[in-house]
């Protein structure tokens, strides 16, 4: 059993290290510092931490002002509130003026668990990636989170980082590299390509192992940089395999699956199956029960691969 | 205050009013009413109170002005052009494709525009961020904000009001352009924000009430705000929407329409003979 760590915990720890190295980093929260883990930074650098209270629009606009005056603000709250309540502030005060604000939102996806649908953001990727100039990142594990937070701080411009509440397996070691606009290929095979992000990367790798036992070889790509997207890698993998499965802990409307489908429709159309939340809200339950019920497991990805491989064969049979 | 200075400011105000109506008429659209009500406040700031270097718009020590009521962009543009941030010729490109002056202020494309606005309610919160950074960096610049009275209906205004007092942002001064009107009518009829001074006081601000067209009162409010410690200052400035052009004054219909050629002519004739009270 691989050891587990939540991406929000990795975020909290990285912020502290970043704070030591980079005096321009400031952190804002909206009364959720204990949950988003910005509390670690708040304790280490009280002067550079601002709790804005339960006021998410205020959180975003104040961060914008700090950025305009040369700071590197990280603004955190739950993904539902960051991208929902404060959407228009993000659009007009951050994205449009290209303010150097990093929105690191936690509690994304169904793995929020028992708090239920009001707190389970399954649309934030769709919302954020619709904004011109917004970088959208989804780490697959703690190590990638660390690299991502550092890359976000070094990048000039708005960044959205999507973080989770629950522990995820540690997939990557110290050799692992992250770069915006790059999607590492974690495994290669010619039968199908799986494009996954976040917690679904680990599920995709498990699915790939299971499929290999059954004689299907699949490529697994970690699309942690949803925007900018590594178009070259994704098109090439789709071309090699001729069949694609996308996997995300997010609605299939507007998320990773949509982004991949948009790209492939323009450049290299192949059959695509989308594993994700099927245009519905979540509910209360344990994270693992929810992932099971809403079809977000290695098993569901493997079935998706089988379906898409069949579709590929039917298409080539018809040619 | 000294007579020469007063006369100079009044002349500036007149020229700014002229530029406002001319540029909106030429553009064929825009917001004259709320641009004209803020003229004296903006002129007092840019031509007297603020520490600025128009030739060096990114000078880190500069005072900042945030036009939270971004639809009054023509006011900001007229003042910035007169202050020398860009040539007055640019005013003719207002709202035109491929030109610099956007319908609402765009900070990344326009020298002197500090914050992109247009969506009401956000300016004070952004100003707070700039002010917090100033405190962190030990810089003594001040941040001025102009908000509309209708704009006070936005919830974010009060989130930001609470935050500025909480963080003791005495480097923030908010001017409320209290002209009594918004788009759908009188503010009291649409959604009454009164009593406005009491609200700001209750949120922990130092509050001043002035005539927003009277330069000595505006300058003295700015001085007072500078001396207030540990609290932000709200200046509730009574103004007249459409001020200076008789047929626009207190006419809700002049919120967001451009004068036609004959109306522009009448406006300019009036301004030419205008003697400020
Ligand atoms: C968030 C938002 N909602 C609506 C508008 C449309 N709008 C533009 S101006 C205006 C009225 C503003 O009234 P007030 O703040 O009193 O400004 P003034 O009368 O000084 O022009 C409205 C509703 C907007 N720009 N932003």
Confidence of residue A67 (pLDDT cuts 50, 70, 90): very high
The arithmetic mean of pLDDT across residues A20-47, rounded, is: 97
What is the pLDDT at residue A318? 73
Substitution candidate for ligand 1 out of B34, B70, B120 with most atoms within 8 A of CB: B120
Cβ–ligand 1 contact at B123 (below 6 Å): no
What would be the CATH architecture of the domain defined by B3-272?
Answer: 3-Layer(aba) Sandwich (3.40)
pLDDT of res. B275:
66
Instruction: Please say if the pLDDT value at position A1 is more than 60.
Output: no
Residue A59: closest C-alpha in chain B: B125
Three-state SS annotation for A109-176: CHHHCCCCHHHCECCHHHHHHCCCCCEEECCCCHHHHHHHHHHHHHCCCCEEEECCCCEEECCCCCCC
Residue B276 pLDDT greater than 70, yes or no: no
Instruction: Quote the ligand 1 centre to A56 CA distance (angstroms).
Output: 21
Per-residue pLDDT band for A29 (boundaries 50, 70, 90) equals very high
Cα A104 from Cα A148, distance rounded (Å): 11
For residue A111, the distance in angstroms to the closest alpha carbon of chain B comes to 31
Of the residues B29, B33, B69, B176, which should be mutated to test ligand 1's pocket, given the most ligand atoms within 8 Å of the CB? B69
CB atoms within 10 A of CB A132: 9
Q: What is the per-residue pLDDT across B92-104, written as a single tens digit (0 to 9) for each?
A: 999 999 999 999 9
Q: What is the pLDDT of residues A269-303, one digit of tens each?
A: 999 999 999 999 999 999 999 999 999 999 999 99
Confidence at residue A170, expressed as pLDDT on a 0 to 100 scale: 96
pTM: 0.94
Of residues A26, A48, A92, nearest to B122 (C-beta): A92
Which residue puts its alpha carbon closest to atom 20 of ligand 1? B34
Dump pLDDT digits (tens) for B29-67.
999 999 999 999 999 999 999 999 999 999 999 999 999
Share of chain A above pLDDT 70, in %: 99
Is B128 within 8 Å of A98 when comparing Cβ atoms? Answer: no
Among the CATH numbers 3.40.50.920, 3.40.50.720, 3.40.50.11540, 3.30.1300.10, which is that of A185-317? Answer: 3.40.50.920
User: Are A70 and B133 within 8 A, CB to CB?
Assistant: yes
pLDDT of residue B265: 97
Cross-chain CB nearest to A98 (options B60, B108, B119): B108
- Position A316 confidence tier, pLDDT thresholds 50, 70, 90: confident
Note the pLDDT tens digit of each residue in B158-172. 999 999 999 999 999
* Ligand 1 near B151 CB (within 6 A): yes
pLDDT value of residue B48:
97
Which burial class, exposed, middle or buried, applies to A83 when counting CB atoms under 10 A from its CB (0-12, 13-18, 19+)? Answer: buried
ipTM of the complex: 0.90
Across the interface, of A70, A71, A92, the residue whose CB is closest to B119 is: A92
Q: Where are the alpha helices (DSSP H) in chain A?
A: 7-21, 33-36, 39-44, 56-68, 79-80, 87-89, 124-129, 142-154, 200-213, 231-241, 256-267, 287-293, 298-318
- Listed by start position, the domains of chain A span 4-169, 185-317
| Ligand 1 neighbour B68 (Cβ under 6 A) | no
Topology match between the domains A4-169 and A185-317: yes
B179 conformational bin, left if phi > 0, alpha if psi -120 to 50, beta if neither:
alpha
Query: What pLDDT, in 10s, does the model give residues B128-155?
Result: 999 999 999 999 999 999 999 999 999 9
Put simply, the chain A residues between 25 and 84 with a CB less than 8 A from any chain B CB are 26, 47-48, 50, 52-53, 55, 57-58, 60-71, 73
Q: Does the C-beta of B150 come closer than 6 Å to ligand 1?
A: yes
Q: What is the pLDDT of residue B238?
A: 98
pLDDT of residue B274: 74
pLDDT tens column, B216-263: 999 999 999 999 999 999 999 999 999 999 999 999 999 999 999 999
| B122/A48 CB distance under 8 A | no
Alpha carbons B227 and A172: distance in angstroms, whole number: 56
Instruction: State the closest ligand 1 atom to the C-alpha of B37, by its place in the atom list counted from 1.
Output: 20
Given a cut of 90, whether residue A317 has pLDDT beyond it is no
- Ligand 1 contacts CB of residue B178 (under 6 A): no
Per-residue pLDDT for A141 more than 80?
A: yes
The arithmetic mean of pLDDT across residues A44-60, rounded, is 97
For ligand 1, the distance from its centroid to the CA atom of residue B162, given in whole angstroms, is 22
Q: Which residues contact B253 (CB under 8 A, 6 or more apart)?
A: none
> What average pLDDT does range A94-108 have in this prediction?
98
Which pLDDT score, from 0 to 100, does residue A111 have?
97
Q: Tell me the HSE value of A87 on the side-chain side, using a 13 A CA sphere.
A: 13
Nearest CA to ligand 1 atom 25: B119
CATH entry 3.40.50.1700 includes domain A4-169: no
The reported pLDDT for the residue numbered B277 is 54
Active site residues of A: 56
Q: Which residue of B has its CA nearest to A55?
A: B159
pLDDT at A146: 98
Nearest-CA distance from A59 to chain B in Å?
A: 8
pLDDT, residue B273, reads 84
Residues of B in contact with A57 (CB under 8 A): 121-122, 125, 155-156, 159
């Amino acid at each position: 059993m691989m050891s587990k760590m939540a991406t929000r915990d990795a975020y909290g720890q990285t912020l502290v290290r970043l704070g030591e190295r980079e005096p321009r980093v400031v952190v804002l929260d909206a009364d959720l510092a204990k949950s988003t883990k910005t509390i670690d930074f708040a304790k280490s650098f009280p002067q550079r931490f601002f709790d804005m209270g339960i006021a998410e629009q205020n959180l975003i606009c104040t961060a914008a002002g700090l950025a305009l005056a040369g700071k590197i603000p990280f603004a955190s709250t739950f993904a539902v509130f960051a991208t929902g309540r404060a959407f228009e502030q993000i659009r007009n005060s951050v994205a449009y003026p290209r303010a150097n604000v990093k929105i690191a939102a936690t509690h994304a996806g169904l793995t929020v668990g028992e708090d239920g649908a009001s707190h389970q953001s399954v649309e934030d990727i769709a919302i954020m990636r619709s904004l011109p100039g917004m970088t959208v990142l989804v780490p697959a594990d703690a190590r990638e989170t660390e690299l991502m937070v550092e890359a976000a701080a070094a990048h000039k411009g708005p960044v959205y980082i999507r973080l989770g509440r629950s522990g995820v397996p540690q997939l990557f070691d110290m050799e692992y590299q992250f770069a915006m606009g790059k999607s590492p290929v974690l495994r290669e095979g010619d039968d199908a390509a799986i494009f996954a992000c976040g917690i679904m990367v680990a599920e995709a790798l498990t699915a790939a192992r299971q499929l290999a036992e059954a004689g299907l070889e699949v490529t697994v790509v970690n699309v942690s940089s949803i925007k900018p997207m590594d178009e070259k890698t994704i098109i090439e993998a789709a071309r090699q395999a001729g069949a694609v499965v996308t996997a995300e802990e997010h609605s299939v409307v507007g998320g990773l699956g949509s982004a991949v489908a948009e790209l492939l429709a323009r450049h290299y159309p192949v059959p695509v199956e989308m594993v994700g939340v099927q245009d519905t809200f979540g509910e209360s339950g344990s994270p693992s029960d929810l992932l099971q019920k809403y079809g977000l497991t290695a098993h569901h990805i493997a079935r998706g691969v089988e379906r898409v491989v069949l579709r590929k064969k039917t298409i080539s049979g018809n040619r | 205050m000294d007579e020469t200075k007063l006369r100079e400011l009044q002349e500036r105000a007149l020229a700014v009013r002229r530029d406002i109506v001319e540029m909106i008429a030429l553009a064929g659209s825009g917001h004259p009413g709320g641009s004209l009500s803020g003229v004296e406040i903006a002129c007092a700031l840019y031509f007297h109170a603020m520490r600025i270097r128009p030739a060096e718009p990114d000078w880190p020590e500069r005072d900042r002005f945030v036009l939270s009521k971004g639809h009054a962009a023509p006011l900001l543009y007229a003042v910035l052009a007169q202050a020398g941030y860009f040539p007055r010729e640019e005013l003719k490109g207002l709202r035109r494709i491929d030109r610099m002056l956007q319908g609402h202020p765009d900070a990344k494309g326009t020298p002197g525009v500090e914050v992109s606005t247009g969506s009401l309610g956000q300016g004070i919160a952004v100003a707070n961020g700039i002010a917090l950074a100033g405190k962190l960096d030990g810089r003594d610049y001040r941040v001025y904000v102009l908000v509309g009275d209708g704009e006070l209906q936005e919830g974010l205004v009060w989130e930001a009001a609470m935050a500025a007092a909480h963080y003791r942002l005495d480097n923030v001064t908010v001017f409320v352009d209290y002209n009594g009107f918004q788009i759908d009518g009188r503010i009291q009829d649409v959604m009454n924000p009164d009593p406005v001074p009491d609200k700001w006081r209750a949120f922990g601000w130092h509050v001043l009430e002035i005539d927003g067209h009277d330069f000595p009162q505006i300058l003295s409010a700015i001085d007072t705000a500078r001396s207030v410690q540990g609290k932000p200052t709200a200046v509730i400035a009574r103004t007249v929407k459409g001020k200076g052009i008789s047929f626009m004054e207190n006419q809700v219909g002049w919120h967001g329409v451009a004068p036609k050629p004959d109306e522009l002519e009448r406006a300019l004739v009036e301004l030419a003979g205008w003697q400020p009270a």
